[in-house]
Amino acid sequence: MIDLEKGQHGMVTQARVMTLGQWLGARLWRRPERLLLLVLLVLGGGVWLRHSEHPPDPGEQALEDAPVLPPVTALSALPELVVATRRAPGSYWTEPDGRTLGIEHDLALGLGALLGKPVHFLVLDDQEQVVRALRTGKAHFAAMPEGGKESAELGFMFTPPYYHSRFQVVFNALRQSAPHALADLAKEPLTLIHDLQMETQLQNLRTQVPALRWKWAPRGLREEDLLRQVYEGQVVYAVGASEEIALAQNDYPDLAVAFDIGRETPLAWAFPVGSSLLYEAALHFMEGFRNSGGLAQVVERYYGSVGALSHDDALEFLQKRVIRLPGLSPVFRTAERLSGLDWRLLAALSFQESRWNNQAVSPTGVRGLMMLTADTADRLGVKDRLDPNQAVPAAALYLAQIRNELPLSIGEPDRTWIALAAYNVGLAHVEDARRLARQRGLDDRTWNALRQTLPLLAEARYYEQVRHGFARGGEPVRLVENVRGYYDVLVHFESKSRAFHVGESHGPISSSPPM
């Protein structure tokens, strides 16, 4: 840097060579306010860089901002229920249009309805944050694993469990050889989402395998994101909850479970000691909800399609979603506008029927993308069953008609699943299965009941009791479960102007179907 020195009358007297640091120092020393400004800019830039490289953890920020709740002295004076939960596909999540879903979400709303209270969800990132929310009095209750010494040390009161889970080691079967025991994992650490009970179980197992190592996933990373990283090869081995892994395997079929870790873990609601009023109300709710069959319905709604798809079916579906679906989606979307049924549901049904092959022909004579019989095609006015532009809208209207003919007492999503079964086997046989459900003390308005009774229509001791006789009742059950699995994958990967998931109250429809 060259600094020109000036004399008394402003004339340049000499040129002096300076380093950049010397030049800045000389200028800032003459103008102290500039020095202060520079210091502030450096400090501000450092803060900005830290926040840009490490943005605040959403769960941690939500926990920090949440107020401490006053003690519950009377249920009538309680303004709302505050429930701590974590983001996870089976627990709690938000759809693109803002609707919230999940098994923990639905159960908490049920308790809120019983008490006549609105429910506020404190949405966190992992189980460790959920535990802290309860310990610091920022939530009234939360769902978490229960049982064993670690649960007793938490000092919480637990309701009876609503579900049972296991921790499992998961890996990508195409990228890694299968480990058969914990000792096989000594060379590669396990990656974990922050979970107190998971860590406790691993600490216990380390007494058997001293070389066992693990590391924590970054804060804010959800379990579904960790499983995706395993699938993509960013993580070699991870530990996750069995139900979350099973849900992810529909989307990532090469995810494989190596083995279970520790014992089966019951999931239950946890309440801080001292909240006996709410705890007693929760016990009353859970007992009534279980006895009424409501709990089984909620569990079936979110986990009913888990494991329905084989590895080969899921892999073929994902491949053809990329190759075949883009060319077919316009006809499915047209059918959605005509029928009111979610185009992704229609696409899932079509894949189950024909593998998206519009030239498909079965030995029994059904043909085309929707595998229509000749009689059904005639009734629907379809002249060419191999023409998707004729077959898909007609089949969609037919399914919507079946759905409309079901009793109004059947709610969603059961209404849609039962309509799919009737699409396959006929409404008459579905009514026979409903009659068998009533005879067995089951709720004939639910798909969970009919998936048990439809297969009975193939047995003489049962079909001889009903009006319409024999039916291959196992086939509609397989169809519905597979369609649900394919549909869940499409909901995950394919957008829709009005998003829907099977947990939504009104089912996989985009509008009321035309009359």
Active-site annotation, residues: 353
Query: For 101-106, which contacts have Cβ atoms below 8 Å and span 24 or more sequence positions?
Result: 101/501, 101/503, 101/504, 102/302, 102/503, 103/162, 103/163, 103/298, 103/299, 103/301, 103/302, 103/303, 104/143, 105/503, 106/298, 106/301, 106/503
Sign of CA dihedral 60, 230, 148, 102: positive
CA angle 298, 303, 304 (to 5 degrees): 90
Residue 380 to residue 398: CA distance in whole angstroms = 7
Residue 417's CB is within 10 A of a number of other CB atoms, namely 29
For 55-150, strand residue ranges (E) read 81-86, 93-94, 100-101, 119-124, 141-145
Q: Measuring CA to CA, which residue among 217, 203, 214, 212 is closest to residue 262?
A: 203
DSSP state of 8: T
Q: Which residues pair with 2 in a beta bridge?
A: 17
Nearest to 308 by CA among 449, 477, 481: 481
Whether the Cβ atoms of residue 369 and residue 360 lie closer than 8 Å to each other: yes
Q: CA dist 457 to 263, 415, 416, 452, Å? A: 38, 20, 21, 10
CB atoms within 10 A of CB 186: 13
Find out whether 318 and 489 touch, Cβ atoms under 8 Å. yes
Reference 503, options 514, 488, 490, 515; nearest CA is 488
Task: Tell me how long the chain is.
Answer: 515
The tokens describing 13, both together, are: 């007297």
Close Cβ partners of 261 (under 8 Å, ≥ 6 residues apart): 166, 167, 168, 169, 182, 198, 201, 202, 205, 239
Q: Rounded CA gap, 460 and 22, in Å?
A: 99
* Residue 305 to residue 503: CA distance in whole angstroms: 12
**The residue type at 435:** R
Residue in the block written with tokens 């004939």: 444
Burial profile 91-128: b = 16 or more Cβ within 10 angstroms, e = fewer: bbbebeeebbbbbbbbbbbbbbeebebebbbbbbbbbb
